[in-house]
Every structure is written in C-alpha cells, then in structure tokens.
A and B are shown apart, each in its own frame.
Chain A
C-alpha cells in the first residue's frame, strides 16, 4: 500500500526535478557554442560587437549554469533516494557512464571558471577563446554520457540478469546500445537549436523594446543562422529516432501515433482527439507516411498496438506530446528560414515587428518542444524503468515520507525559478548594452563603426 503511493510520488518528484533541470541543462550544453562562435567571429573580424555579445551572454549563462549544477546534483542523488532497487540492479551497469558524465562535467566546470575570469588577461588574440572549446566539449560529452544512460533504460543490453542479480556485464555494449546514437544526436541538435532560439528571442525582444541598431542586427543574424541550421538537424535527428523506434521500441511509436493495428502502408496521424472507446476524431491522416517515417518505404509493415501485451501499452496521451513537439519544431524551422530569406531577398524587411514577435515566442516554444519531447520519450516507455527487465513499480522506494521530499523540492524549485528570473531581468536591465558599450569603447560609435 505504501509502496504504491510512494511509486506515484517518486515518479512525480523525479519528473518535477527533470522538467526543471532540463531547462538549465539544455542551456548549459548549448549556449557555450554560441558564446564561443560570437567570440570567434569577433576576433576574426576584429569587431568588438561580437566580443561584447559573448561577454554579455556569458554573464547570464553563469547564473543559469549554477542552477543547472544544483538541480543536476539533485537528480543524481535522487536516483538512489527514489529508485534504490533500480540502482541496486542497474548500478552494476550504468555507473560507468554516470561516472564519465561527471568527469565531463568536471572538465567543463574547470574551464568555465577559467573562461569567465580570464577576459583581457592574455596577450594572444585567440588564447582566451581557446578556453571556450573545452567548455563546449565538456558540455557536449556530459550530454552524450547521460543520454546513453537513458538510452540504456530504453534498450538495455550488455548484461545477464539472473533473478534480481546481474551476473555479468559488458560495459561498452551497454553504453553503445541501439538507442544511444539517435538519442544523442537528437539531444545535442535540439539543445543547440533551443539555445539559438533563446538568444535570438532575447535580441528580437530588445529590438522591439529599445529600437534596432548594428549590434542587435549582428546578434540576430548570428543566432538565427544557428537556429536554422540546428532546427534542420533536429528534424533529421527526429526522423532517425522514429526509424529507431519502429525497429526497437515499436510500442512507443505505435502509442504516439495511435497505430492500433499492424499494417502495411500505415497512415501518419496528426492532431485529433481520442474518444473513450479509442476512436480517433478530427485527425489529419497522411496516407502511408508512418511507414515511410518508420522504414523509409511507403509500403513497409508497421507494428501496431495489437501486437503489444495489454498491460505493456504506454499511455496513449503521449500522442499529444509527440504532435506538440513536432509542430513546435516545425515552427522553429519556418521562422528562422523566413528571417534568412528576408535577409537575402532585400524586398522584405527581416526586422518587421511581426517577424520579431514570432522570433520572441520561438524561444518558449523551443523549450516547450524539448519538454514535450522528453515527456513523450519517458512516458512512452511506461510501464518499464528498464524496458523488458524491470517495471517502474518494482524499482521505486517504499517510504511513507516521499511526500515530504516532494514538498521540499517543490518549494525549492519555485524559489529558484523565481529568483533566477528576477536576477536575470535585473542583470540586463541594470546594465543596458548602450551603457556598457560607452564605458568599454569610449572612442567608438555604438555598434562598431570607427568614429
């Protein structure tokens, strides 16, 4: 009885921590790439605008990373506190990638500290910029390793289980499980895309608020290019993931697509609503596209939910998550493409108010898409915690005190969320770009022209 309640609470607490952590973790992985790109362009072109851009992004970035570090520590320890049985069994296997993730993060943390505190300290033009590379690599690698842990939970392999005891392990086989490549690809591309979208949105917001100038133009161009490139890569990664699912986790794809019967030439279902007797209403059917999405062949056979045991079918509401993720991702491609088309096709103004507003909302959209995507991926493997081996209910803690822990973390996250927002707003309000520019480059016109 305890155990049952604590399972639900443990799931809720884990979800809450992850939903909160993802925001900060994504920024932690993606933003260094943009900071580094801006500094590089600045050094190449000898244009202080870009370097100032990198500096200003870094300032906000540090605060976000701080919250990412503490929520990351939280989820790491919560694995033990909330899922002790899972850790007892899987700990034999996943401790290696967890360990490596920590090393990668350590590497990132060391060089982030070095990067932040050594502006203007070196003689060589590029020396300081080099310090940003280990930050990007460390952030990227920690995403790779932690994603491989999640991939392992989806397609576990590389061990032998006898009863409740793991009797042999092949660590590399476990890390390089079938889910790892597509997941890593999707996680990295979507992080870079989201960070591009966030920084573009910030710039667009400032243009709308304070009027345009050369500095903002450069920032918007850089961030929109990154957004477009990585939106496209994210879409490709999504396609790779769908092909992976069709082969290795057909029940997840079938649940997301409300694909009840195994058939050849299966339709892709967009939007719609499911009635209580599993009837689909108001959906758009794209003929044979699910087969194409799954195997690259319009007439291939896609496994439906009829081939899945009734008690192993994931919740069908993940369809909405899937749709939202894809739609929001498509929005990002569209908007960034539009901006760049306008930029090259001089007849249209790429800084028109409506496009800028559309760019502003793209940031929350991209972050939401990320959250929806993760919810889809995680709920889509219910009821398993380790697919095929261990169910969620068997892995959870049985303690009558989980609700206390839940309440504590809820308060913590609300507090942190509020404070981090206030601090960031204050940081950029108190220190507007124009003021900083005039302090730093008193002889240069704002935006980078020599006086």
Chain B
C-alpha cells in the first residue's frame, strides 16, 4: 500500500471521527439552548453538561488533526485550500472561538445566562455549515487562478444550489446524530424525562436527515457528474447506509436498544462518507489536485505514519480510561459522583 492511500485513509478517519464527535457536541449545544427557550432546561441541561464537560476540548483536536494531516500528506492541497478558505476559514475559527470560550464561561464560570447559551447553540449550527464549504469547494468549479494565486469565487459559491444542499445536510445531520447519542446517554443515566424529549428530537430530525442526504446526492450529479457516476458504481455502500438509517430509526421508534441504534447511526455515516470519499478519487480537489501527483515524500510519509501509530497507542488507552470514568461509569452518568 502506498503512502498516499495510507495518508488518505488517515485523513478520512479524522474527518469521520470529527463528524461524529463534533456533531454530538454541536447538536448538544443547540438542544441546550432550545431546551432553555422551551423551559425544559431543568430536564436536559444537567445531563448534557455532565457528558460534555470532561470531553469538549477533545473535539477540536480531530479538526486540527485533519488540517495538519492535509499539510503533511498533501501539502499542495493545503496550499489550494489555504488560499481559498481565507474568509470561510476565518469565520469557522471565530465561531469556534465564541463557542469554546462561552461554553467554558458558562460551565466553569458558574453563571448561566441565556446569551451564552444562545451563542453556544447558534455557533454549533453555523460551524458545520461553514466547514461544509470545504467539501463543496472540493467538487471543483469554485476556484479561480489569477496571477499565480488562488481565489474563491464567492458569488458562485453563494448562489449555487449544491452548496446550500451541503449546508442543509450538515446542519440536519448534526442535530440527528446528536439527538440519537443523547437519547442513548439519557437512557444510560436512567433519566426518563430527558430520554423522552431527546427521543422525540431524534425521531423528528430523522426524516429531514434522509431527505437532505438524498438531495445532496442528487445535487452532486449536476455539480460534478464524474463524481456522481463514481458514486453510482458504489451504490451498495449507500444502500447499506440507508439500511442502517432505517435500523436506527426502528430502534428509536421501538424505544429499545439505544446503544445499537447509535452504532447504526455511526455505520450509516461511515458508509455514506466512505462511498462519497472513494467516489471522489483520485481527486482531492476536482481538476486541480490529484492524489498521486501531490503526495508526500517517502521519509516524511513513514515518519507521519509512525507518529500517527505512536500517538494512537498513547491515546486509545487514555481515551478508554476517560470513557470508563465518565461515559460508561454508570454511577457518574447517573450523577452520583
């Protein structure tokens, strides 16, 4: 296996991990705000804070891994995206800045204000929308080369139905993934009222989620027929994705197997993102950056993979330790510790 493929797999893995972990986090922020608005915060927010407090810093790390991985394995892609994403990227950072700090202010500064919760909830929906611009750009047609540098065609981006389909998909998926996870978590905590509300959220967001997925799928056919055709060849992956979606909805609807239901959600996104990613090959950025042409140098590729392996050897036991302390420790989850 070549370094490019390994590098791509690593990048894909970071993207997937970020998609799941950040969605839980971003959606939880929105639900915390929504619960406050609808006066249900006394039921939900303790549960949400209890899950998020020890892990919120971890979320950002996967995002950082992704862009540093891009720099290491595909420096040219880093160049193109870096130049193009100046404004969307800055918006993402400002939103992450607002979100992270206000979360800490609210939770550790021992003051609960509606403004903080609003900023926290709203930024949680805008961040995925802004990040999804990166995916939109990768389909090609949004960049313009001029005088040896790269510029983003903003009008093109903002008036294109495809880019809005992606934004819609990003936001809806966040809410869907998050509601599913929190239902599972509430169930584990034995928190009946919270579980009920969250279950209704999960069911509510499942329909828009699948509609948005299909819309985005169809929108790609107009934006980038080549990618669309590649994806059609991988139809069975998307089929599996839909099956897992149905499984998740089924369990939630039947009010049982919440853990299995969340695993279904993860597999649903796993296959959808995998099919999307493989269909994207061999381009990282359509028409401009191909995987084979811009790969890293062998010595660096090896070093990065070693660092990656070593890092995981250190992280996985630590993550398991933390999960056992907070996520899977029944006493903690129930609020007794």
B86 touches A402 (CB 8 A): yes
Assembled-state Cα–Cα distance A77/B64 (Å) = 8
Name B75's contact: one of A87, A103, A424, A430 (CB within 8 Å).
A87
B65 touches A99 (CB 8 A): yes
Minimum distance in angstroms from A168 CB to a CB of chain B: 6
Chain B residues with CB under 8 A of A74: 93, 96-97
Assembled-state Cα–Cα distance A92/B96 (Å) = 27
Known: A113-B57, A113-B322, A398-B147. A102 touches B86 (CB 8 A): no
Stretch in B31-39, B278-286, B310-318 touching the partner: B310-318
Chain A residues with CB under 8 A of B100: 66-67, 69-70, 73
Assembled-state Cα–Cα distance A118/B54 (Å) = 10
Q: Name B's interface SS.
A: helix
Chain A residues with CB under 8 A of B85: 80-81
Q: Which residue of A lies closest to B54 (CB)?
A: A113
Assembled-state Cα–Cα distance A402/B85 (Å) = 11
Chain B residues with CB under 8 A of A99: 65, 68-69, 72, 304, 307-308, 311
Name B83's contact: one of A59, A84, A423 (CB within 8 Å).
A84
A102 touches B58 (CB 8 A): no
Minimum distance in angstroms from B323 CB to a CB of chain A: 10
Name B307's contact: one of A73, A96, A424 (CB within 8 Å).
A96
B300 touches A412 (CB 8 A): no
A93 touches B300 (CB 8 A): yes
A169 touches B299 (CB 8 A): yes
Is A111 located at the chain interface by the 8 A CB criterion?
A: yes
Is B126 located at the chain interface by the 8 A CB criterion?
A: no
B83 touches A399 (CB 8 A): yes
Chain B contact-residue range equals 35 or more
Q: Using a CB-CB cutoff of 8 Å, which residues 289-326 of chain B contact chain A?
A: 296-297, 299-300, 303-304, 307-308, 310-311, 314-315, 318-319, 321-322, 325-326
Is B328 located at the chain interface by the 8 A CB criterion?
A: no
Known: A89-B75, A423-B105. A397 touches B110 (CB 8 A): no
Known: A93-B300, A95-B68. A408 touches B315 (CB 8 A): no
Is A36 located at the chain interface by the 8 A CB criterion?
A: no
Q: Which residue of B lies closest to A398 (CB)?
A: B149
A98 touches B58 (CB 8 A): no
Name B90's contact: one of A94, A167, A409 (CB within 8 Å).
A409
Name A80's contact: one of B57, B61, B72, B81 (CB within 8 Å).
B81
Is A114 located at the chain interface by the 8 A CB criterion?
A: yes
Name A73's contact: one of B63, B110, B308 (CB within 8 Å).
B63
B interface residue numbers (CB < 8 A to A)? 53-55, 57-58, 60-61, 63-65, 67-69, 71-73, 75-76, 78-83, 85-87, 89-94, 96-105, 108-111, 147, 149-151, 296-297, 299-300, 303-304, 307-308, 310-311, 314-315, 318-319, 321-322, 325-326, 337
Q: Which 6 pairs from chain A and chain B are nearest by CB?
A: A95-B72, A66-B104, A80-B82, A91-B75, A84-B82, A113-B54
A interface residue numbers (CB < 8 A to B)? 3, 59, 62-63, 65-67, 69-71, 73-74, 76-85, 87-89, 91-96, 98-100, 102-103, 105-107, 109-114, 116-118, 121, 134, 166-172, 397-399, 401-402, 404-405, 408-409, 412, 415-416, 419-420, 423-424, 426-427, 430-431
